[in-house]
C-alpha cells in the first residue's frame, strides 16, 4: 500500500466538470434568477429613503420585541448611514435575506420529509454532517465553477453553509411534539396533511424559528468570505481593509456587520418567543 493514494481529488474535479459541462444551462438559469432576486431586494432597500427605512425597521423591532431593541436599531442603523456604508449594508441585507429565504424554502420541506420518511432521514443526516463540518472556504470553489464571480456564488455558498440548522431544527421541532397530542389529532380523524398543517407545524414553529435564527447568523458569517469571490457589500469593505492593512476602515465595516447581526438576531429570536407564548 506504500505509495498508493486514492485519487479523490481527480474524482471530485471530474464530477464538477461533468456538472458544469452537462448542466451549464440550468446553472445559468439559477444564476439569472438569484441575481434578479438579490438585485431587486437591494434596489428596493436603496429606493426607500434611508431614514424612512430605518424608522420602519425600528418600528418592527418595537413590535416584535421591546423599546430597547427599537432604540438600538434606530441608533445602530443611523450610525451605518453616518459612516457611509448604507449602500453596502443594503447589499449585505439582500444577500443574507435571499440566502435565508432559500434555506427556509428548501430546508423546512426537507426537514418534514426527513421526519415522515426514515430512508430520507438516513440519507440526509450524513449530508448535513458534511455540510456543517466542511470548512466554509471550500464551498467557494464549486460556487465559482458553477456561477462565476459576483453575488450569486456568494449566495450559493451561504445557502450551503447556512441551511443545515433550519433542516435539523425542523426535524427536532416536529419530533419533540408529545405523542398525546398526535394521538388526539388521530382520534379526531385528521389526515396526515391536516395533522402536519394544523398540529405539528404550529407547535414546531418556535423551534423552527430557532433554526432560522441560526441560519441568519451563519449567512452573516459568510459575508466576508463571499467577498473573496466578488460578492459586494460590507464584506468587501472588510476584505479591502485587510488587504490594505487599514484598521479604521476594517473596524467601521466590521462594526456595521455586528450591528446588522444583532438586529436580525434579536428580532428573529423574539418572533420565536412570541410564537412560543401564543401556544
Instruction: Summarize pLDDT for 76-118 with one digit per residue, the tens.
Output: 999 999 988 888 888 888 888 888 888 889 988 998 888 888 8
Neighbours of 12 (CB within 10 A): 12
171: in domain: yes
10: in domain: no
167: in domain: yes
14: in domain: no
Q: Which three cell numbers stand for residue 95?
A: 444577500
| Contact between residue 114 and residue 65 where contact means Cβ atoms under 8 Å apart | no
166: in domain: yes
Of 108, 80, 111, the residue nearest 263 (C-alpha):
80
What is the rounded average pLDDT of the residues 215-242?
Answer: 82
What distance in Å separates the CA atoms of residue 92 and residue 238, rounded to the nearest whole number? 12
Residue 1: is its pLDDT beyond 60? no
What distance in Å separates the CA atoms of residue 248 and residue 184, rounded to the nearest whole number? 61
What distance in Å separates the CA atoms of residue 247 and residue 235, rounded to the nearest whole number? 14
What is the rounded average pLDDT of the residues 256-262?
Answer: 88
Residue 49: is its pLDDT beyond 60? yes
Give the pLDDT confidence score for residue 279 in this predicted structure.
53
Tell how far CA 140 is from the center of its chain.
16
Angle of the 247-278 helix axis to the 234-244 helix axis, nearest 10: 150
- Cell numbers 432604540 correspond to 71
Of 96, 102, 218, 225, the residue nearest 165 (C-alpha):
218
28: in domain: yes
- Cell numbers 426537507 correspond to 110
**What's the mean per-residue pLDDT of the chain?**
83
| Residue span of the structural domain in which 72 resides | 19-278
177: in domain: yes
Domain holding 133: CATH number?
Answer: 1.10.3720.10
pTM of structure: 0.82
What distance in Å separates the CA atoms of residue 265 and residue 258, rounded to the nearest whole number? 10
53: in domain: yes
Range in 30-34, 116-120, 121-125, 191-195 the model is least confident about:
191-195
What is the rounded average pLDDT of the residues 196-207?
Answer: 82
| Contact between residue 260 and residue 89 where contact means Cβ atoms under 8 Å apart | yes
How many structural domains does the chain have? 1
Give the pLDDT confidence score for residue 278 in this predicted structure.
47
Q: Kindly indicate the confidence band of residue 272, based on its pLDDT and cuts at 50, 70 and 90.
A: low
| Contact between residue 256 and residue 78 where contact means Cβ atoms under 8 Å apart | no
Residue 277: is its pLDDT beyond 60? no
| Contact between residue 73 and residue 262 where contact means Cβ atoms under 8 Å apart | no
Amino acid at each position: 500500500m506504500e505509495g498508493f493514494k486514492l485519487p479523490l481529488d481527480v474524482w471530485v474535479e471530474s464530477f464538477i466538470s461533468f456538472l458544469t459541462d452537462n448542466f451549464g444551462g440550468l446553472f445559468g438559469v439559477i444564476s439569472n434568477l438569484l441575481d434578479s432576486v438579490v438585485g431587486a431586494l437591494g434596489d428596493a432597500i436603496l429606493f426607500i429613503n434611508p431614514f424612512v427605512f430605518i424608522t420602519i425597521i425600528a418600528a418592527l423591532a418595537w413590535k416584535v420585541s421591546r423599546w430597547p431593541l427599537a432604540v438600538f436599531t434606530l441608533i445602530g442603523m443611523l450610525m451605518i448611514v453616518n459612516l457611509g456604508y448604507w449602500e453596502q449594508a443594503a447589499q449585505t441585507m439582500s444577500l443574507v435575506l435571499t440566502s435565508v429565504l432559500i434555506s427556509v424554502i428548501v430546508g423546512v420541506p426537507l426537514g418534514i420529509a426527513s421526519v415522515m420518511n426514515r430512508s430520507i432521514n438516513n440519507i440526509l443526516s450524513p449530508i448535513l454532517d458534511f455540510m456543517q463540518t466542511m470548512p466554509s472556504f471550500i464551498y467557494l470553489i464549486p460556487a465559482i465553477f458553477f456561477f462565476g464571480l459576483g453575488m450569486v456564488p456568494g449566495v450559493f455558498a451561504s445557502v450551503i453553509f447556512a441551511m443545515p440548522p433550519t433542516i435539523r431544527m425542523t426535524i427536532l421541532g416536529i419530533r419533540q411534539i408529545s405523542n398525546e397530542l398526535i394521538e388526539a389529532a388521530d382520534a379526531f380523524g385528521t389526515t396526515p396533511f391536516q395533522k402536519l398543517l394544523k398540529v405539528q407545524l404550529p407547535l414546531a414553529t418556535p423551534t423552527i424559528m430557532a433554526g432560522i435564527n441560526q441560519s441568519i447568523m451563519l449567512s452573516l458569517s459568510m459575508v466576508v468570505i463571499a467577498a473573496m469571490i466578488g460578492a459586494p457589500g460590507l464584506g468587501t469593505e472588510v476584505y479591502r481593509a485587510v488587504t490594505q492593512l487599514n484598521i479604521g476602515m476594517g473596524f467601521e465595516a466590521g462594526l456595521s456587520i455586528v450591528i446588522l447581526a444583532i438586529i436580525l438576531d434579536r428580532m428573529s429570536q423574539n418572533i420565536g418567543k412570541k410564537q412560543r407564548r401564543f401556544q
